[in-house]
Amino acid sequence: MAVCAPRRQSLSHNNHFLPDEAVIIYDKTIVGLFKNRSFTQPPVNFMTDNFRRDVESVEQFCDRISCVSTRGAHEGFQDALVSNLSESTVGLYSMMHENACKRFGYDSKESIRLAYMCAYKFYSF
C-alpha cells in the first residue's frame, strides 16, 4: 500500500499539488487482506454526460484576436493561459467520491463515476 501526502508549497506547473512524501507499507498484517481488482471502465457517455467542453483551437483563437488591438490580443492570450487556475472542483469531487464510497461502496456506479470525475479534473489541466 502506498500513500502520498501533498504539500502546499509544492505546486506543479498546472496548479496541482505534487506529492511530497510517500509511505509504503509491506506489513502483511495490514495489507495481507487487500485484493487486487481489475480496471474499472468509465461509465458509458462519461465525458458528454458530466462535462461541458468549450474547446477553442489555435486557429480559432488566432482568428478571434486578429481583429483586436495588440493589448486585446495579449489579454486574450493571458486569459487562455490562466483560465484553469481558478478551478477549485478537484477537492470537491474528491470529497464527494469519498462520501459516495462510504455510503454506496467502492464498486457502486456513483462512486466509480465520481472517481473518474475527480481523476479527470485533476489530470486535465
Q: Are 47 and 57 in contact (CB under 8 A)?
A: no
The pLDDT, as a whole number, for residue 21 is: 62
Closest C-alpha among 47, 48, 40 to residue 109: 40
Cell of 113: 463515476
Arithmetic mean of pLDDT over the chain: 77
Q: Is the pLDDT of residue 120 over 70?
A: yes
Write the pLDDT tens digit of every residue in 82-91.
Answer: 666 666 666 7
Q: What mean pLDDT is predicted for residues 50-58?
A: 78
State pTM to two decimals. 0.52
Counting Cα atoms < 13 Å in the Cβ hemisphere of 115 gives 15
- Decide if pLDDT at 104 tops 90: yes
Comparison of pLDDT for 113 and 14, the residue scoring more: 113
pLDDT band, residue 14 (cuts 50/70/90): low
Q: Is the pLDDT of residue 8 over 60?
A: no
